[in-house]
Amino acid sequence: MKKIKLGIIGAGRIGWVHAKSITYHIPAAEIIAVSDIYVESAKKLAEELSIPNYYSDYHEILNNKEIEAVLICSSTDTHADIACEAAAAGKHVFCEKPVDLTVAKIKKVIAAVDKAGVKLQIGFNRRYDHNFAEIKRLADIGKIGKIQTVKITSRDPEPPTIEYVKVSGGIFLDMTVHDFDMARFIGGEVEEVYANATVMVDDEIGRAGDVDTALVALKFKSGAIGVIDNCRKAAYGYDQRLEVFGSNGQASAANDTPTNVSFIDANSNQSDKPLYFFLERYMQSFTDEMAQFIDCVVNDKPTQTTVYDGLEALRLGLAAKKSVAEHRPVKLSEIEC
Amino acid sequence: MKKIKLGIIGAGRIGWVHAKSITYHIPAAEIIAVSDIYVESAKKLAEELSIPNYYSDYHEILNNKEIEAVLICSSTDTHADIACEAAAAGKHVFCEKPVDLTVAKIKKVIAAVDKAGVKLQIGFNRRYDHNFAEIKRLADIGKIGKIQTVKITSRDPEPPTIEYVKVSGGIFLDMTVHDFDMARFIGGEVEEVYANATVMVDDEIGRAGDVDTALVALKFKSGAIGVIDNCRKAAYGYDQRLEVFGSNGQASAANDTPTNVSFIDANSNQSDKPLYFFLERYMQSFTDEMAQFIDCVVNDKPTQTTVYDGLEALRLGLAAKKSVAEHRPVKLSEIEC
Amino acid sequence: MKKIKLGIIGAGRIGWVHAKSITYHIPAAEIIAVSDIYVESAKKLAEELSIPNYYSDYHEILNNKEIEAVLICSSTDTHADIACEAAAAGKHVFCEKPVDLTVAKIKKVIAAVDKAGVKLQIGFNRRYDHNFAEIKRLADIGKIGKIQTVKITSRDPEPPTIEYVKVSGGIFLDMTVHDFDMARFIGGEVEEVYANATVMVDDEIGRAGDVDTALVALKFKSGAIGVIDNCRKAAYGYDQRLEVFGSNGQASAANDTPTNVSFIDANSNQSDKPLYFFLERYMQSFTDEMAQFIDCVVNDKPTQTTVYDGLEALRLGLAAKKSVAEHRPVKLSEIEC
Amino acid sequence: MKKIKLGIIGAGRIGWVHAKSITYHIPAAEIIAVSDIYVESAKKLAEELSIPNYYSDYHEILNNKEIEAVLICSSTDTHADIACEAAAAGKHVFCEKPVDLTVAKIKKVIAAVDKAGVKLQIGFNRRYDHNFAEIKRLADIGKIGKIQTVKITSRDPEPPTIEYVKVSGGIFLDMTVHDFDMARFIGGEVEEVYANATVMVDDEIGRAGDVDTALVALKFKSGAIGVIDNCRKAAYGYDQRLEVFGSNGQASAANDTPTNVSFIDANSNQSDKPLYFFLERYMQSFTDEMAQFIDCVVNDKPTQTTVYDGLEALRLGLAAKKSVAEHRPVKLSEIEC
């Protein structure tokens, strides 16, 4: 079987995740080059997975004619520029989220991709999660009926460092962005956002200009309503749930757990806590999103998570920030597009 | 044992519920009179439960010196006036919710009760539900830690008749009022309300000037945030859940079900749907709230669900209505008190 | 409504349970007399529930022409004789389990009941438990298909006193007898029994000639197989489960719990332990079995739990004892009938 | 990192499973040769996973001095002979279960392994299953207390072909053998076996001399009791559960499911059925057992699942067969060892 040749730009944590998914689970593709500004990182990944080439400069990947698609796994501030260059070089692009923290730069990516006629998929991996994908399936086949309420719970096990908080764009662009994408995935386009936000986990986060606990009320264009509740820290771990209520019934996804064992003694009836970390929780989804991307490239299908989805999730985040700042519901139409 | 003597005003559905709880489960009390403007209803209840007296005019109950406490189970529009008269007659009062749909009338009841020095308990029965009471207990002993998010789901199995909708005061005063009380029960006083509301169940409800699907975002004075989601109709029955997230962990109450049986075959893995009707779902709570009331009267303890709670729940409902009307977050301080 | 008049013989714990069920939940019947050899016990029950007559001698109940049915709630060794006398007096009989610990005496009861043409119902209350009754219903309507395996778990929260153990007839006649009845209720007649039994809870139980941990393998006449596992003590409380596997699928009943609350923190994910005591766990079944008995008497229907069921459960217990003693599978046909 | 070199004998389904686990998840090992009597199968596997050598004759693997360990994944009847040869050739051995269907041949393997001083691990993969391993852990740290009852449910989604049934050695040697190993893993050595067995799934299985539905009662040397229930077909899929009851409490493992989604509508409350096929259900365990084997070889540790375990599981199977044939409990000491 002819394998499509890939290059990975950025050999950090998520670069490793994708590299392993491709090497071990996606026979239709092979990675022939990896780059990282810290070339030692690229070298280590290359050696571990028998990738023949590694570089410090990603242009060497873009200049390689054999490479048909690139994975952009570098730091967020570089995503948009690299995506534009990659498109211009005729490469299909898998780009980690967020594409960028500004609308303007994402629009440049959209233009570059359109002009080059290449495919671009955004790393909204949760769409490929077994639980959420099943709820989407139930919605699509009409089991849930007309969707009335979408409820998303998304809480992290630990807050990021204060340094990260300062450059993250804030909770709505950094964390809720995944939930905004999930809301759109299930409920369609959003018309209006109202956000409550507060600092209850760590005052340092507040001093850094961000919030750590938030609730976002959504109005969908369909007339449905939605709510996202976020927290930067849940004592019990990573809490990722979805509940979709419609005219015919309700689908809900509980957390995944390490085992299905329960233990009961004189004191309590215990079962497992949720999988603690996103790499465990979402590993299956990372593999499946990559398989989906490769399938789109190989078989010339449209990607299902496009740069437009990245743009809309960003705009929802910006609307939520504006809602908090101005203490009022904000229509998405108020946000630049 | 000396039994405290009670009179019941109103022999409708909820009057029967309380009458049976007292007769069968509360040895410290006995009902010696029941009244209903439809005297046949009063007679039927009296005969069924061997209550010695029945009347069409509740004043006969208020004038009976033997009666120490009355249960006001008549139609909502009569609650406040009867409560004032009962207090003036020196009776302790158990009053079904809502006390009234106006702040002014509830304040008259507060004044009357204060002047008479009698006890008054409002029928916010859900505080006595085994699940919600357990969550309150976990919160009170500090298991949950500092409360950050309170989430309440409350959906009815079927919408009421359009005739009822027209006089109900609207979903926020009629249905959400219970959830507002639950929010205060768990999270303390509320500072601000923002409500999204829509008509998705039945256009007739919209034409009657009400909504049937709603989401209310709350800010508590503590800094915590909350959300209530309501629907007048859930295809699968009566959906009554509570989730409280805090710095130490999360407590959540699932629905009660008729059995704990599961059945699995080639097609599906099935378990019971929730108890369908509020009388099944909350029967235990009705008995426990009545036992609590009798205990307060007999042992001269303060009631735990006072007319002030009725007032605050009403004001939250009015704030939610105002939020929808003016499409903005509304501070509770904007509502008359 | 004309109420059928009842007498209760034995004012101990189970006598109270039935008396309350009838008084509070079964409008078609009224208790007009109660007897107990400790007349103070009878008096206390009579006063609590406004029963007009109480006696020390149950013959006064049997001689009362107004009384149509009696409940035999006295000590086990008196059941059979009183049942025979009651039948001879023309009373319908509700008799607590076990009818007797010997086949011969139960056969006398059968003869007496047959001769008198009265109804007799045995207190195998678990048939009326909401969970087990639902599984029976699923079996009866064919959902489970041809039954292949019946699994019963039945463990007590605490062992009885050693004094009780000595007169109980042993675990198989005292505790497993309920499970044998459940096995027959679901799986039909049993052909053969093999029992493993051991002492693991308390050596005193062993010295008293009994075992405290047992496993009984069953062969049903239908060809199905079954297993009962018992223990006199489960650290976590009262464990009462049933699992029925058939050609179409499997139905299983989990334990009932006080609430549906779960709590999760950094240490564990906890939910409720089972209801601890049989009075909580089976209260609904006690009421329903009594309603069933009254219905059979009032409407002249055959009872569904007859003295024959009591006989067969005893014979299964005797077969299990013989299996342990002789360390081999024992056919039910080896046991006197 | 120096990688230990492996050869795989047998390129059927289980050979592929192990080859993929090693290639994708176990960096400490590499497969350098694969053999299969159908050389095309060996070639296909070699090509898929870039294994440099493939053969029809496994002796080429045994003769390769570079190879330190072999995986015997060929047909059951060849296991013992190849294991003896491999040991004689100084290779460490991973051998699929069952080692053989006779005690005599397994004893030859034991002798060969002992003489050669090599390691041998049997493919009882279920010991490495996340659920069962967690229960073992809870038992080992004393959470369960003194073990009193071990209950194993093991049912297949579909019966094997009649051709397979005829050569399988029967349900006890082919299917229950895994459960016997699990019983020993949790409860220690078994003293006595009593088996009930019947044909309820397919009469053809009966005509082939086997049974399809069985229940095995166990007595452990510790005094604990156990029960295994098996069926060749469960309408709802693959049913693999374990329940361990002890003096301190009970641990139980429910089935794994594809998702944690539940869906509730007017008709039912549905959740996922168990994972249907053993490859999905036990994939994690296959990887973990192989990692364990490699770790034992590389770090010179004793294997945890030895040929002795294979022998004892076989003897339990033979005892169960004898129990059915002679219709009596059979002591393990009656079986040749």
Chain D nearest-CA residue for C195: D217
Helix H or strand E segment including C220: strand C213-220
- CA-nearest of C328, B291, A312 to D331 is C328
Confidence category of residue C123, pLDDT binned at 50, 70, 90:
very high
Contact C270 A272 (CB under 8 A): no
Contact C138 B261 (CB under 8 A): yes
Number of H helices, E strands in chain A: 13, 15
Substitution target from D149, D222, D267, D326 for chain C, most C beta carbons within 10 A = D149
* Closest chain C C-alpha to D248 CA, distance in angstroms: 6
* Closest chain D C-alpha to C200 CA, distance in angstroms: 7
How much is the mean pLDDT over chain C?
96
Starting at the edge strand found earlier in the chain, the sheet holding B29-35 runs: B53-55, B29-35, B4-9, B69-72, B92-95, B120-122
Q: Which of D149, D234, D247 sits opposite C229 (nearest CB)?
A: D149
Contact A235 C266 (CB under 8 A): yes
Q: Which residue has the tokens 């509360």?
A: B26
Relative to beta strand C4-9, strand C69-72 is parallel
Distance between first and last Cα of chain C:
43
Take residue A80 and report the two structure tokens written for it: 């948009």
Sheet strands (E) in chain A:
4-9, 29-35, 53-55, 69-72, 92-95, 120-122, 147-155, 190-198, 213-220, 225-231, 239-246, 249-253, 261-265, 269-271, 330-331
ipTM score assigned to the predicted complex: 0.94
* Closest chain A C-alpha to C77 CA, distance in angstroms: 35
Starting at the edge strand found earlier in the chain, the sheet holding D53-55 runs: D53-55, D29-35, D4-9, D69-72, D92-95, D120-122
- What angle, rounded to 10 degrees, do the helices at A76-88 and A103-116 form? 20
Contact A262 D251 (CB under 8 A): yes
Q: Residue D1: what pLDDT?
A: 60
Take residue B119 and report the two structure tokens written for it: 């006890």
Q: Which residue has the tokens 């009262």?
A: C238
How much is the mean pLDDT over chain B?
96
* Closest chain D C-alpha to A131 CA, distance in angstroms: 5
DSSP states of D126-142: GGG-HHHHHHHHHHHTT
* Closest chain C C-alpha to D235 CA, distance in angstroms: 5
Q: Which of C146, C149, C236 sits opposite D250 (nearest CB)?
A: C236
Distance between CA B82 and CA C186 in Å, rounded? 56
Take residue A251 and report the two structure tokens written for it: 């689908």
pLDDT of B216 > 70? The answer is yes
pLDDT of C132 > 70? The answer is yes
Chain D residues near residue C239 by CB distance under 8 angstroms: 250
pLDDT of C2 > 90? The answer is no
Q: Residue C277: what pLDDT?
A: 87
User: Considering just the CA atoms, what is the radius of gyration of chain C in Å?
Assistant: 20
Q: Which residue has the tokens 């596992």?
A: C229
Chain C nearest-CA residue for A235: C266
Interacting residues of C226 by C-beta distance below 8 A, sequence separation 6+:
C149, C150, C151, C152, C183, C187, C190, C217, C218, C219, C220, D215
Q: Residue A12: what pLDDT?
A: 95
Contact C148 D231 (CB under 8 A): yes
Predicted structure pTM score: 0.95
In tens, the pLDDT along A146-205 reads 999 999 999 999 999 999 999 999 999 999 999 999 999 999 999 999 999 999 999 999
* Closest chain B C-alpha to A135 CA, distance in angstroms: 16
Interacting residues of C47 by C-beta distance below 8 A, sequence separation 6+:
none
Contact A200 B214 (CB under 8 A): no
Burial class (CB in 10 A: 0-12, 13-18, 19+), A217: buried
Distance between CA A292 and CA A306 in Å, rounded? 12
Substitution target from A231, A260, A261, A268 for chain C, most C beta carbons within 10 A = A268
Distance between CA A65 and CA A5 in Å, rounded? 10
Chain A nearest-CA residue for D19: A24
Distance between CA A165 and CA A209 in Å, rounded? 9
Chain A residues near residue B215 by CB distance under 8 angstroms: 149, 217, 225-227
Chain C residues near residue A271 by CB distance under 8 angstroms: 269, 271
Q: Residue B251: what pLDDT?
A: 98
A-C contacts at Cβ under 8 angstroms? 31
Q: Which residues pair with A95 in a beta bridge?
A: A72, A122
Cα-based distances in Å from B186 to B151, B227, B333: 10, 12, 20
Span B128-145, average pLDDT: 98
* Closest chain C C-alpha to D126 CA, distance in angstroms: 23
Task: Report CA dihedral (B107, B110, B115, B116) to the nearest 10 degrees.
Answer: 140
Contact A251 D259 (CB under 8 A): no
Helix H or strand E segment including A128: none
3-state secondary structure of D288: helix
Percent of chain A with pLDDT over 90: 96
pLDDT of A27 > 90? The answer is no
Distance between CA A258 and CA A274 in Å, rounded? 7
Contact D227 C225 (CB under 8 A): no
Which ranges of A232-282 would DSSP assign to H, the alpha helix? 278-281
pLDDT of B1 > 90? The answer is no
Distance between CA C220 and CA C182 in Å, rounded? 13
Q: What is the 3-state secondary structure (H, E, C) of A34-97?
A: EECCCHHHHHHHHHHCCCCEEECCCHHHHCCCCCCEEEECCCHHHHHHHHHHHHHCCCEEEECC
Chain A residues near residue D281 by CB distance under 8 angstroms: none
How many other C-beta atoms are found inside a 10 Å radius of the C-beta of residue C41? Answer: 19
Q: Residue A2: what pLDDT?
A: 77
Chain C nearest-CA residue for B242: C261
* Closest chain C C-alpha to A255 CA, distance in angstroms: 12
Chain C residues near residue A259 by CB distance under 8 angstroms: none
* Contact status, residue C149 vs residue C224, Cβ threshold 8 Å: yes
In tens, the pLDDT along C290-336 reads 999 999 999 999 999 999 999 999 999 999 999 999 999 999 999 98
Subunits touching A (CB < 8 Å, at least 3 pairs)?
B, C, D
Contact B269 D268 (CB under 8 A): no
How many other C-beta atoms are found inside a 10 Å radius of the C-beta of residue C117? Answer: 9
Query: pLDDT 10s per residue in chain D (337 long)?
Result: 679 999 999 999 999 999 999 998 898 999 999 999 999 999 999 999 999 999 999 999 999 999 999 999 999 999 999 999 999 999 999 999 999 999 999 999 999 999 999 999 999 999 999 999 999 999 999 999 999 999 999 999 999 999 999 999 999 999 999 999 999 999 999 999 999 999 999 999 999 999 999 999 999 999 999 999 999 999 999 999 999 999 999 999 999 999 999 999 999 999 999 999 888 999 999 999 999 999 999 999 999 999 999 999 999 999 999 999 999 999 999 998 8
Chain D residues near residue A258 by CB distance under 8 angstroms: 130, 134
Q: Residue B113: what pLDDT?
A: 96
Span C228-236, average pLDDT: 97
Contact C260 B131 (CB under 8 A): yes
Take residue C284 and report the two structure tokens written for it: 């609904």
Relative to beta strand B213-220, strand C92-95 is unpaired
* Closest chain A C-alpha to C156 CA, distance in angstroms: 13
* Contact status, residue C218 vs residue C249, Cβ threshold 8 Å: no
* Closest chain A C-alpha to C204 CA, distance in angstroms: 22
Chain B nearest-CA residue for A226: B215
Contact A217 B236 (CB under 8 A): no
Chain B residues near residue A329 by CB distance under 8 angstroms: 194, 327-328
* Closest chain D C-alpha to C314 CA, distance in angstroms: 22
Distance between CA D115 and CA D84 in Å, rounded? 10
Chain A residues near residue C266 by CB distance under 8 angstroms: 235-236
DSSP state of D144: S
Contact C200 D148 (CB under 8 A): yes
How many other C-beta atoms are found inside a 10 Å radius of the C-beta of residue C141? Answer: 8
Contact C273 A269 (CB under 8 A): yes
Contact C249 B259 (CB under 8 A): no
Chain D residues near residue B265 by CB distance under 8 angstroms: 235-236
3-state secondary structure of D20: helix
pLDDT of A268 > 90? The answer is yes
Q: Residue C27: what pLDDT?
A: 87
Contact B149 A217 (CB under 8 A): no
Chain A residues near residue C257 by CB distance under 8 angstroms: 269
* Contact status, residue D200 vs residue D336, Cβ threshold 8 Å: no
Q: Residue D199: what pLDDT?
A: 97
In tens, the pLDDT along C71-100 reads 999 999 999 999 999 999 999 999 999 999
Subunits touching D (CB < 8 Å, at least 3 pairs)?
A, B, C
Subunits touching B (CB < 8 Å, at least 3 pairs)?
A, C, D
DSSP state of A126: G
